[in-house]
């Protein structure tokens, strides 16, 4: 993961409601038949979850977890947290009073604060990240080997799972801050539901193996994958992917997101950073045209990750979703959105794979709409009539000065979609036809992912034999990626970290 300069949606993490109101609101929501197995009960009573290695983990409700910070604590020799009775000073003997660095006073612990209080031996930095070192053990099981990436939510580390024959996995360590912790618990619920629905691992979505709370940091264990598609582009000097790679990547992305839509979920944050290769090993070939070495993927299969912002159809829909460059026009115009906003994002991603660069390179909403008009044609009048963003519209047209400095920039940096084609071969034409239908302005007319799988660009995957081979390759690649990485891909990942 990278520390991106791309602006994240303010509606994803920042919520005007208090934490208590959000928890109460989540308790009041009723899940439909597709989400009835999500762990709402775990927020109201104690239950046990089966861990990946067959052991059971005791979990507590959110209120119990937050309430636990009112109690003093110490660590046992294995690094686990032991909670003492906080009913009064009679529960402590004189020796415990002398070792006051283990505890916080009752008056101090009652004060409201952003982070949970715990032993001094477990520390956070100023941003809420857990301070760790290579070789540290979490829960006497997960040994930290390296840092894979960092984001607004926290960090991802590569670990050895000593509870599962030394298998390698990726551990996502969430910041010890309430809003990130709450979002992480939402992601855990979604991932558990996905695991139960895709028990035979047919769909290319990342697999959660375990989760636990480590001194206020929610930690989620995932299967270990390769580089993100963005990081691969970056390390390959933003050279475009070959058309055949794009075809395979598109097929797996569409299948994964279609699985979400079928179960009434919208991802809402699809982008190249959230699409990871199963195995990012590559060959190096010299390009006489570019006069430099170029990386060629050995296996273009990918999986979709990061479900922290995934939203069920019946849940509250925040007004702003998606990272700027992949945001659908109905979101910008505040017309409301549904799962078709994911389809728009996939269209933007496929163009980025084809060009090597982002299609909409802007951080301003009105300029973004102007770029859309330059590339895709005028925005339909009926959409502009219904928008709540009246400052973007004048006389039912986009209020945009094409002769100003911003207008000249848009005219210079953007051109009609078909003019981006590098070749007029059949595959290139089919790709751009698919993208054009996925980036239809009107969500009601936009291509569904079911229709996208039947598009001529993906015709080679429509035969049963090819699909069977692809699934078999996917299983083999998953096993090989879990067993380890080549020294070349590992060194590139460590370099990134």
Tokens at 356, concatenated:
């090597």
DSSP assignment of 426-456 equals: HHHHHHHHHHHHHT-SSTTTSPPHHHHHTSG
Residue 287 phi/psi, 5-degree rounding, is -100, 115
C-alpha span between 474 and 277 (Å, rounded): 11
Tokens at 412, concatenated:
């210079």
Tokens at 213, concatenated:
């709370």
DSSP H helical ranges for 204-308 = 229-235, 243-262
Q: Which residues, other chains included, contact 494 with Cβ-Cβ below 8 Å and sequence gap of 6+?
A: 146
Segment (H or E) for 265: strand 265-266
Q: At what angle do helices 178-197 and 19-28 cross, to 10 degrees?
A: 20
**303: number of Cβ within 10 Å:** 25
Is 172 annotated in some ligand binding site?
yes
Query: 275 and 249 in contact (C-beta within 8 Å)?
Result: yes
Burial of 256 (0-12, 13-18, 19+ CB in 10 A): buried
**116: number of Cβ within 10 Å:** 20
C-alpha 215, offset from chain centre? 23
Segment (H or E) for 159: strand 154-161
Q: Which residues, other chains included, contact 2 with Cβ-Cβ below 8 Å and sequence gap of 6+?
A: 149, 230, 231, 234, 273, 496
Query: 218 and 184 in contact (C-beta within 8 Å)?
Result: yes
Burial of 162 (0-12, 13-18, 19+ CB in 10 A): middle
**Which residues form the catalytic set?**
269
Q: Beta partners for 75?
A: 81
For the chain, what is the total number of helices (H) and then of strands (E)?
17, 18
Tokens at 418, concatenated:
């078909």
- Show binding-site residues: 172
Name the binding residues for ATP: 172
């Amino acid at each position: 993961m990278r520390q991106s300069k791309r602006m994240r949606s303010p509606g994803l993490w920042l919520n005007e409601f208090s934490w208590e109101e959000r928890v109460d609101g989540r308790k009041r929501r009723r899940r439909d038949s597709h989400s009835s197995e999500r762990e709402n009960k775990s927020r109201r009573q104690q239950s046990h979850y089966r861990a990946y290695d067959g052991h059971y983990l005791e979990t507590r409700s959110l209120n119990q977890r937050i309430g636990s910070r009112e109690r003093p604590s110490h660590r046992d020799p294995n690094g686990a947290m032991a909670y003492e009775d906080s009913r009064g000073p009679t529960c402590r003997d004189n020796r415990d009073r002398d070792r006051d660095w283990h505890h916080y006073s009752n008056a101090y612990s009652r004060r409201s604060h952003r982070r949970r209080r715990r032993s001094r031996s477990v520390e956070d930095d100023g941003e809420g990240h857990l301070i760790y070192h290579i070789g540290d053990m979490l829960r006497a099981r997960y040994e930290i080997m390296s840092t894979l990436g960092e984001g607004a939510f926290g960090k991802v580390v590569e670990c050895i799972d000593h509870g599962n024959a030394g298998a390698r996995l990726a551990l996502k360590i969430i910041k010890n801050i309430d809003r990130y912790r709450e979002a992480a618990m939402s992601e855990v619920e979604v991932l558990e539901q996905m695991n139960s629905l895709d028990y035979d691992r047919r769909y290319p979505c990342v697999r959660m193996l375990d989760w636990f709370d480590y001194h206020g940091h929610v930690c989620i264990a995932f299967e270990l994958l390769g580089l993100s598609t963005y990081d691969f582009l970056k390390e390959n000097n933003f050279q475009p992917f070959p058309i055949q790679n794009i075809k395979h990547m598109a097929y797996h992305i569409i299948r994964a997101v279609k699985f979400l839509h079928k179960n009434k979920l919208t991802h809402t944050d699809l982008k190249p950073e959230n699409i990871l290769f199963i195995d990012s090993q590559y060959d190096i070939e010299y390009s006489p045209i570019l006069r430099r070495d170029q990386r060629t993927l050995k296996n273009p299969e990918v999986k979709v990750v990061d479900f922290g912002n995934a939203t069920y159809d019946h849940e509250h829909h925040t007004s702003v979703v998606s990272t700027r460059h992949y945001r659908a026009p109905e979101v910008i115009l505040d017309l409301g959105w549904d799962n078709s906003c994911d389809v728009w994002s996939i269209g933007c991603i496929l163009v980025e794979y084809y060009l090597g660069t982002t299609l909409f390179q802007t951080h301003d909403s009105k300029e973004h709409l102007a770029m859309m008009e330059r590339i895709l044609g005028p925005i339909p009048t009926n959409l502009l009539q219904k928008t709540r963003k009246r400052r973007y519209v004048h006389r039912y047209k986009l209020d945009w000065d094409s002769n100003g400095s911003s207008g000249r920039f848009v005219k210079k940096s953007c051109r009609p979609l078909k003019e981006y084609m590098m070749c007029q071969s059949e595959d290139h034409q089919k790709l751009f036809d698919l993208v054009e239908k996925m980036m239809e302005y009107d969500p009601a007319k936009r291509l569904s992912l079911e229709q996208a799988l039947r598009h001529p660009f993906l015709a080679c995957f429509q035969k049963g034999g090819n699909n069977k081979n692809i699934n078999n390759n996917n299983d083999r690649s998953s096993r090989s990626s879990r067993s380890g990485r080549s020294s070349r891909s590992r060194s590139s990942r460590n370099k990134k970290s």
